[in-house]
Amino acid sequence: MRTSKLVDGKQRRAAYLRGHSGETLALLAMMMKGYRPLARRFSASGGEIDLILRRGDTIAFVEVKARATLDVARTAIDAKKRARFSRAVRAWMGRNPRYGTLTLRADAVFVAPRAWPRHLPDAFAIEGL
């Protein structure tokens, strides 16, 4: 019993570190494309936004998926995740109304080992906006 809890804890920690390093790599790639960070790991209303970036008149709310391959990463954003993500976007906008006149977009960045991150602009609709 004790060993399985240790293994689960180690697996969770490894997944957390993979996700965190994937987000950092995604942020660097997006900054190279001219995006500037507004927030990282914003959490509210039961959802989380990995990166909130601005480029010109566009605010990109970014979901980062780090997986073993880019194809697996692309399939990792399901309806439940999109709903939680959208709730967090609405909460962020409620706290930052000055950005309400800008273009708002839900982007995705897919990260896999030995591959440059892939950015998918307007990956899915933000529900309720």
In the chain the domains, ranked by start, together with CATH numbers, are 2-124 (3.40.1350.10)
**Sign of the dihedral through C-alpha 99, 104, 58, 20:** positive
Q: Across the chain, what does the average pLDDT equal?
A: 89
Residue predicted with more confidence, 39 or 12: 39
Helix segments in 33-78, DSSP class H: 70-74
C-alpha span between 115 and 24 (Å, rounded): 14
> What pLDDT score does 52 carry?
98
> What pLDDT score does 1 carry?
47
Per-residue pLDDT tens digits for 2-16: 555 555 777 777 666
Token couple for 24: 């950092």
State the pTM of this model.
0.87
Token couple for 98: 């000055």
Per-residue pLDDT tens digits for 113-125: 888 999 999 999 9
